Chain A
Amino acid sequence: MQKLLLLGDEAIAQGAIDAGLSGIYAYPGTPSTEITEYVQHSKEAQQKGIRCSWSTNEKTAMEAALGMSYAGKRAMVCMKHVGLNVAADPFINSAITGANGGMIIVSADDPSMHSSQNEQDSRFFGKFAMMPILEPSNQQEAYDMVHYGFELSEKYMIPVLMRITTRMAHSRAGVSRKSETRKQNEMKLPTDLRQFVLLPAIARRRYKGLLSNQELFEMESEKSVFNNYIDGADKKMGIITTGIAFNYLMENYPERVIPNPVLKIDQYPIPRKLVEKLYNECDELLILEEGYPLVEDMLKGFMANGKKIKGRLDGTVPRDGELNPNIVAVALGMTDTIGADVPGNVVSRPPALCTGCPHTDSYLALNEALIKLEPGRVFADIGCYTLGALKPLEAINTCVDMGASITMAKGAADAGLVPAVAVIGDSTFTHSGITGLIDAVNDKSPITVLILDNGTTAMTGGQNSAAQGRIESICRGIGVEEEHIRILKPLRKNHEENTQIMMEELAYNGVSVIIPRRECIVAIDKRVRAKAKIKAEDQA
């Protein structure tokens, strides 16, 4: 069969389709979004009836996936690294309940924060939950690991975490599909009726089971085809790589022969015997990890009284940011390479709101409404509108996590800040904003909430927004007073009127919600193009 040219994300999706997946659950988040989108666009997935629409947030996605696993079918749930924080409660507990049908959680980390608020390493979460972790080093492994992961999950009845990083998720390479694909599982309910009932007495028993399985998980890592010990003659230094760090190591040896012994780790728990072998045979170790120094920290220990361990903790490799071939070359003691300097007149070009973006008009009105109201502050959220922090708008003061706009504004209002404004998008509002708004209504907190409704999840490429035109009914249902739910159209020509409405609501001593509603211009463009395409095809 001819190879497919797939992003790492797409390789995972195709792997899941071929491994008998029944449902994929996700909330969009860079760099994980394309996994679910691939399944959504796959005709094969459609024919097989694989469930694939977007969830409201990562927690609902994780729980639905666990429910599908409960019913005996194979489920996958995908998110970006910070999404795993949102889903942490069901994630950790799913290791205690265990799985029934195979379950894989994909968490896509973003070292160097290309599109994120932090660069947390999901392997720590996997270790925390005491789950097996898979970390592919290339697109082919990503495909193959999904088959393997579902097998492992069903063998030990345990969810499996697959951790990838940006360069794995968003890089394309040729991938060979397996000649035999697997059928979906039939529905098969758990035989132990109490398996998923985490009452303390039952949870204690199940937790002991999880603990006793750790030895078996480690045994699987020792014999895994994805963990390889590659011998080398120069024992002065041994090298451990995890995930895609292996590629950067190989890149520095054009003949693909490394003089030192190398342990390539792509499956956790860390294979102890293989690490011991390397440690015993070599004078010192170099640890190359894409992410936090997890393996390095464990090997080094608090007292660091063994052999020398080099890596991110001793400065051999930078403590933060993603790896690249140059960083690894320097760590190996090779000469670094670089081309000419960037000419002095080249200036930075930060991302910005699109020309004609409705958010710009909302911010222009808000900025003007706030001019006379010092020391008002604007608590914003995660989405395209976070770009309002930059010049020329400089309209917002915070961006922390999904939903934090409303709750932080509430807390600041509780402390006496007037006016306290929250700015949140329609998709982020349904993701994590609703509960915070209930808190504010219950406390009658004097906050003004702008729900910027562009009808889509714009930043990640225009996925369906869960609100679907129901924002005002949701607010009404929560208990926001009818006369303080104001809908306006953010256009330049409405600037005066919109500013006036904002000033009125800023002056109200209670919860008001303003909904500037105008479709994302990228979404309009996409819609018009899709329409034209259908028309052209009809004519043809």
Chain B
Amino acid sequence: MKKDIILAGVGGQGILSIAAIIGSAALDMGLYLKQSEVHGMAQRGGDVSSNLRIGDKEIASDLIAKGKADIVISVEPMEGLRYLPMLSSEGWLITNSTPFKNIPNYPEIDDLYTEIAKVHRHVMIDAEGIAKELGTAKAANVVILGAASAHLGISFESLENAIRRIFAKKGDAVVELNINALKAGRDFAEKNSHL
């Protein structure tokens, strides 16, 4: 098993929280992992990405080769499209639909949706909307992770356990909320995956 995952978003959107949950679950399953992060200047509201690689054999490169990523998980619609050159022709684009507009020339959102719809395999999800229904928009990233969960090579149970470990300090209510967010994301993806 080998999964190459690109996480994409805007500095400050917390894409590393998604990486932390996948990473914890992968380690729990005894898998190898490499995760390249962005620190420094780019974090100031610029586009950021992380290369997350998991597999049952030792991983060589910290960076994924172009055209070889199995999944692009994006917490922002334009940022997901930015990494299409990384995505393999059989890969999945899992993206949030809510734009993060911190630049004056942000494109027409419908044009971005049109481009997303052109991607062979994709899921587009209103993560904030779903998270708000569950109680807080803060769980949006976990909703997106839920939408990607079928394609990670990691059992759903392992992801749930990782959420329990990571959010344990914040109390049972927060753990429960995030597990519900994970499920809601998965349920949405089951009904709305475009092949």
B104 neighbours in A (Cβ, 8 Å):
392
User: What separation, in Å, do the CA atoms of A347 and B111 have in the docked complex?
Assistant: 12
Which of A167, A172, A173, A329 makes the CB contact (< 8 A) with B65?
A: A329
Total number of A residues with any Cβ neighbor in B under 8 Å? 52
Contact A354:B10 (CB < 8 A) given known A174-B32, A341-B85: no
> Which label, helix, strand, loop or mixed, suits the secondary structure of the A interface?
loop
The answer to whether B39 and A34 have CB atoms under 8 Å apart is yes
Contact A171:B82 (CB < 8 A) given known A325-B65, A347-B103, A351-B46: no
The answer to whether A114 and B38 have CB atoms under 8 Å apart is yes
Q: Mark A27-61, 1 if CB is under 8 A from B, else 0.
A: 00011011000000000000000000000000000
User: What separation, in Å, do the CA atoms of A78 and B81 have in the docked complex?
Assistant: 37
Q: Does chain A have a CB within 8 A of B62?
A: yes
The answer to whether B62 and A244 have CB atoms under 8 Å apart is yes
The answer to whether B40 and A352 have CB atoms under 8 Å apart is no
The answer to whether B84 and A339 have CB atoms under 8 Å apart is yes
CB distance from A1 to the nearest CB of B (A): 14
Q: Does chain B have a CB within 8 A of A71?
A: no
Chain B interface size band reads 35 or more
Q: Does chain B have a CB within 8 A of A88?
A: no
The answer to whether B61 and A247 have CB atoms under 8 Å apart is yes
The answer to whether B84 and A342 have CB atoms under 8 Å apart is yes
User: What separation, in Å, do the CA atoms of A188 and B172 have in the docked complex?
Assistant: 53
The answer to whether B67 and A115 have CB atoms under 8 Å apart is no
The answer to whether A172 and B35 have CB atoms under 8 Å apart is yes
Binds B, one of A203-211, A248-256, A305-313, A364-372: A248-256
Q: Does chain A have a CB within 8 A of B3?
A: no
The answer to whether B47 and A247 have CB atoms under 8 Å apart is no
Q: Does chain A have a CB within 8 A of B185?
A: no
The answer to whether A345 and B60 have CB atoms under 8 Å apart is no
User: What separation, in Å, do the CA atoms of A338 and B88 have in the docked complex?
Assistant: 8
Residue pairs across A and B with Cβ atoms less than 8 A apart, 27 shown, are A5-B27, A31-B40, A114-B41, A115-B41, A168-B62, A170-B37, A172-B33, A172-B34, A244-B62, A247-B61, A337-B65, A338-B67, A338-B85, A339-B67, A339-B85, A340-B87, A340-B89, A340-B119, A346-B78, A346-B107, A347-B105, A352-B44, A353-B44, A354-B45, A355-B102, A459-B44, A540-B171
Q: Which residues of A contact B (CB under 8 A)?
A: 3, 5, 7, 30-31, 33-34, 114-115, 167-168, 170-174, 244, 247-248, 250-251, 256, 324-326, 329, 336-343, 345-355, 384, 387, 392, 459-461, 540
Q: Which residues of B contact A (CB under 8 A)?
A: 10-11, 23, 27, 32-47, 51, 59-69, 78-79, 81-82, 84-89, 91, 102-108, 111-112, 115, 119, 171
Known: A114-B38, A250-B60, A349-B103. 8 other contacts (CB 8 A): A324-B65, A329-B65, A338-B67, A339-B66, A339-B85, A345-B108, A345-B111, A345-B115
